[in-house]
Amino acid sequence: MILAKLNIIIFSVFSFVILCLFNNVHAAEKHFLTVDELLNNGYSQLTEAQLTYLLKESKIEVRDIETEAVSLSTRTNADASNTANRKSEDIKTDKPLYFLDARLIARAPPLEGEPDFKVKGSKLIATDGVRTYHIRFYEKQGKIFGARDIDHGNVFFQIIVR
């Protein structure tokens, strides 16, 4: 009898904890920054010349504004006229518990290995041979954000030139 009551209490507490976690994930659903919001706030899309200039910088920090992951993109050759040769290094991994937000898990994954980059028009085309992303960049007063075509108008990346 005591064991049955104890099992009921343990099951009730476990169910309550699971229910709280599930409800917190949905109740605290955060609004993602969008390209429309950037444009409405005075950000402008980088042109081909501006994007080429950005890629000629030796070090560019890429921050995921939702998962807090950070990577550093470094030019791999001394020839500043070549924008394609870059190496990425993860500096900080995703924040713990980001996997509780199904919308973040559903995002397209980052490219693997050392992707190839090329500027075409006002967008950066990046590929790892399996996936290809078209990325547009938006800038206002030195603050730069990037939006991938696969993210449906959501903005997940901030770019910082070091």
| Mean pLDDT (whole number) for 107-131 | 88
Q: How far is CA 70 from CA 20, 61, 92, 93, 160, in A?
A: 30, 7, 5, 7, 10
Q: Residue 156: what pLDDT?
A: 94
Q: Which tens digits make up the pLDDT trace of 53-80? A: 888 887 999 999 988 889 998 887 766 5
pLDDT of residue 6 exceeding 60, the answer is no
